Amino acid sequence: MAFEVEATYENGVLRPDQPLPLQEHERVRVSVKPRIDRVNESYGRIPQTIDPKALDYLTNSPDNSPWAEE
């Protein structure tokens, strides 16, 4: 079973953002690719005049999530 999770690298250890469906001491193979934010990944594809920092806030801020509770 293959799956992807996001993790944070802290003090030499990768810490997954959510629990993993693995047995204790189970061996796995890990591939690591740095996360690219949506602004830098898509910048320049659609003509725009907004400041990149403002665009980053609009697309990545939890305050702007459509799933945020009111």
The pLDDT tens digits of the residues spanning 2-20 come to: 888 889 999 999 999 999 9
pLDDT digits (tens, 9 = 90+) for 23-62: 999 999 999 887 776 666 676 777 777 787 887 787 777 7
- Cα–Cα distance measured from residue 53 to residue 9, given in angstroms and rounded to the nearest whole number: 25
Domain locations along the chain: 35-63
CA 65, CA 41: separation in Å to the nearest integer? 19
For the chain, state the CA radius of gyration.
17
pTM for the model: 0.46
Of 57 and 22, the one with more pLDDT? 22
Among 50, 67, 68, 48, which residue's Cα sits nearest to residue 58?
Answer: 50
Query: In which element (H, E) is residue 14 found?
Result: strand 13-16
